[in-house]
Amino acid sequence: MAGCSIHSYLGRMTIGILQCGSVPAWLEPRFGTYSDMMRRMLGRDRDYRVYDVPSGDLPAHATAAAAYIVAGSAAGVYDDLP
């Protein structure tokens, strides 16, 4: 598909952003929140739904968005946490 960008190919869709933490306070004025960063990276021609995971805000169903991004966790999947 010569001349087509990934954005024009995919069309408008809803992307769920599972926000698992906050940007350090001293970085937020320069870069914004994690969801701001994801929107800039993926383009403004999408619909976004941000879920505040630490507050218990989660998608009702996996099909609530076409794709999900997990952003902002200070903990990694392999961290030895309780």
* Phi, psi at 42, each rounded to 5°: -90, -15
What is the rounded CA–CA span in Å between residue 52 and residue 70? 11
Does residue 78 belong to any structural domain of this protein? no
Does residue 76 belong to any structural domain of this protein? no
pLDDT at 1: 46
What is the rounded CA–CA span in Å between residue 73 and residue 23? 9
Does residue 1 belong to any structural domain of this protein? no
Does residue 77 belong to any structural domain of this protein? no
pLDDT at 64: 93
pLDDT at 78: 80
Does residue 18 belong to any structural domain of this protein? yes
Say whether pLDDT at 2 is over 70.
no
pLDDT at 82: 65
Q: pLDDT tens-digit profile of 3-58?
A: 555 555 556 789 999 999 888 899 999 999 999 999 999 888 889 999 999 899 99
Domains in the chain: how many in total? 1
Q: How far apart are the first and last CA of the chain?
A: 49
Residues of the domain holding 17: 6-71
Does residue 82 belong to any structural domain of this protein? no
